[in-house]
Structure 1
Amino acid sequence: METPAPARRRRVVLLVAALLLSSVLMTGGVLHVRGLLPASVPSAETPFSYSGYGQVLRHVRRDGNVDFASVGRERARLDAFVRSLATFSPHSRPDLFPRSEDALAYWLNAYNALVLQAVVDEYPSLRSVEDPWLGSFFWGRSWPVGGQHLTLWALEHRILPREFADPRIHFALFQGRRGGPLLDGAPFAPEFLDSQLNDAVRRFVEDRRHVRLEGNTVYLARVFDTWREDLLAALPEGRGGNVLQFVWAFLPDTCTERPGCDTRGELDRVCGPRLDRCKLVYEPEDGALPDTAAREVRGGP
């Protein structure tokens, strides 16, 4: 029996409405992830400062592990700094961040503070930032920052690469992973930013979990592959270069501070003067939290 015309029209209307709703939700989701939704800019509670956030970072150990339990017990300073991001940013108050160093230090500190807050919010049940569904730790939540609702994904993939052509950024962003870039015990400061960024890359490449030479194979952390184009663009040879040239620039000449690390001389000897004789293998990072507390203390395996 043929369906009556009014019923057919209702079905068509419902189908069109469902498609429109799906499109709106999908568009809203994309805008959310990319940090393109507007946010209000509240009045300032206090002048902008990194001092409170610097106090939070005293819970970062010399090896980069974090005493998340202590941060949680004293989280008022961390929360106050995160709240201040809603008011102050290079976008909403460019007068406070006139130089590129001022702006970059802000975004690096903002990203790292947001990761730290997101971890503490879920601690101690969160064991890894990879636990939430489909990596949603980095895109599922947004914060008001200088007039925009920004996700961690938006900061790392849209704002920082678009506004700063400096590949060292990728080794300064705290990912909440033991195998990724780790926090330092002090905020990034505009006046020391260049040396701090160099130190961040050196700490990373001198760690054998991230750069390891075995025979004629160099095992590299996956960050070198993920951001390969950015690293190559910074080389004198440009994109025709070799990612090992970037690694070589930050390896030490000797391993007095980190016994067992690989050196520039060893890379030259094995991989040749053009660093093109070695096989590259990119390894996954350790996704566990860089937590000072032992797992058994936190309540089981």
Structure 2
Amino acid sequence: MKYISILVVALLTSACCGAKNTVLAQPEQTKEVAVVTEVPDAVEAPPSPGSLVDETEVEIPLPPKPPKLEEVDVVDDYKPEAFNHSRWNKLLKKYVTEGGNVDYKSFKNNPRELSVYIDDLTHNTPTEDWNKDDKLAYWINAYNTLTVDLILKNYPLESIKDIKDPWDQRLWQFGDKWYNLNDIEHEILRKMDEPRIHFAIVCASVSCPKLQNEAFTASKLEEQLTNATNEFLADTSKNEFSKDEIKLSKIFKWFKKDFEQNGSLIDFLNQYTTVTISESAKKSYKDYNWDLND
């Protein structure tokens, strides 16, 4: 009986220990499960470029083709200047002020460049292939160049009128013909139906239009003639205008016919004056100052 009691106690003790061991092991299982359940929440690695392309491959439509434009024939009207006036332009920049005063003394001390330009002019006269603007620019520059040349041949002097027959001396040969200043002005320039040439050519005198300090060129001729006209008319020492009275340069008396080709003289003036002149405006002419424009 005693041995039976001892055996029962031993079995109970073994059972309790086994139960205890089981209970103690449960927290470890729970912990392991908790750790395992946290794995899905970890940040996933980005997909490889290859896999991304495969999964997102989409065909992108091309933009529509622009409509076909109607073909247009382009006419190129540009032509190079028939004559190169750059040598004369450099001389004007060097010896003529913005106001048109000419340094004849310095000009006379450096005659070579002027002689070369005159030689170019006389050996390259206009042909039938030249357009009107090329011809106008050529003969305006020629007239002004030869006027300066005439002054230099007789310098020093006080006035162009100190020279005997200054506009009738045939000193320059163009091609096979000898010319004077009157030939160029009356036989060539005035016959080209452009009255504004009278504000572009100069007579080396104070009351004349000023000698521009740039050469006339075909490509800029319209702008240059307009500017020369505006400057001459705006100079109150040469012209004065009001609605009812005008005091004019004698250029408008000497060449009246040229300014009436497309209307009256008043019509011509009103294109450029800031005041509208009445057709019945009183008209007079200013004295002409022939002193040298130096």
TM-score range (shorter-chain normalised) is 0.5 to 0.7
**What is the match of residue 111 of structure 2?**
75
Aligned residues: 212
2:180 pairs with 135, 139, 151, which one?
151
Offset of residue 216 of structure 1? 4.2
8 A contact 2:200–2:209 mirrored in 1? yes
Matched, 1:84 2:120: yes
Offset of residue 248 of structure 1? 2.1
Offset of residue 50 of structure 1? 1.5
Q: What SS does the corresponding residue of 2:107 show, helix, strand or coil?
A: helix
Moved over 4 A (4+): none
Distance in 2 (CA, whole Å) between partners of 1:104 and 1:215 is 33
**What is the match of residue 116 of structure 1?**
148
8 A contact 2:83–2:138 mirrored in 1? no
- Structure with greater contact order relative to length (CA < 8 Å, sep ≥ 6): 1
Matched, 1:129 2:160: yes
Distance in 2 (CA, whole Å) between partners of 1:191 and 1:215 is 35
> Residues 146-186 of structure 1: CA distance to partner in whole angstroms, max 9, x if unpaired?
32101001111111122x11101111101111110111111
**What is the match of residue 279 of structure 1?**
282
8 A contact 2:160–2:291 mirrored in 1? yes
**What is the match of residue 208 of structure 2?**
180
Q: 1:145 is matched by which residue type in structure 2?
A: F
Matched, 1:229 2:242: no
> Residues 116-169 of structure 1: CA distance to partner in whole angstroms, max 9, x if unpaired?
111111111x21112234xx111123310132101001111111122x111011
1:100 pairs with 128, 132, 148, which one?
132
Offset of residue 215 of structure 1? 9.0
Query: Where do 5+ consecutive residues of structure 2 fail to align?
Result: 1-81
Query: Where do 5+ consecutive residues of structure 1 fail to align?
Result: 1-46, 252-262, 292-301
Q: What SS does the corresponding residue of 1:176 show, helix, strand or coil?
A: coil
Distance in 2 (CA, whole Å) between partners of 1:248 and 1:194 is 18
Q: What SS does the corresponding residue of 2:193 show, helix, strand or coil?
A: coil
TM-score normalised by L of structure 2? 0.68
Task: Map 1:1-301; keep pairs closer than 5 Å.
Answer: 49-58=84-93, 59-90=95-126, 93-95=127-129, 98-124=130-156, 126-133=157-164, 136-162=165-191, 164-213=192-241, 216-233=244-261, 235=262, 238=263, 241=264, 243-251=265-273, 263-264=274-275, 268=276, 271=277, 275-291=278-294
- In the superposition, relative to structure 1, how do residues 160 and 117 fare at CA in structure 2: closer, same or farther (>3 Å)? same
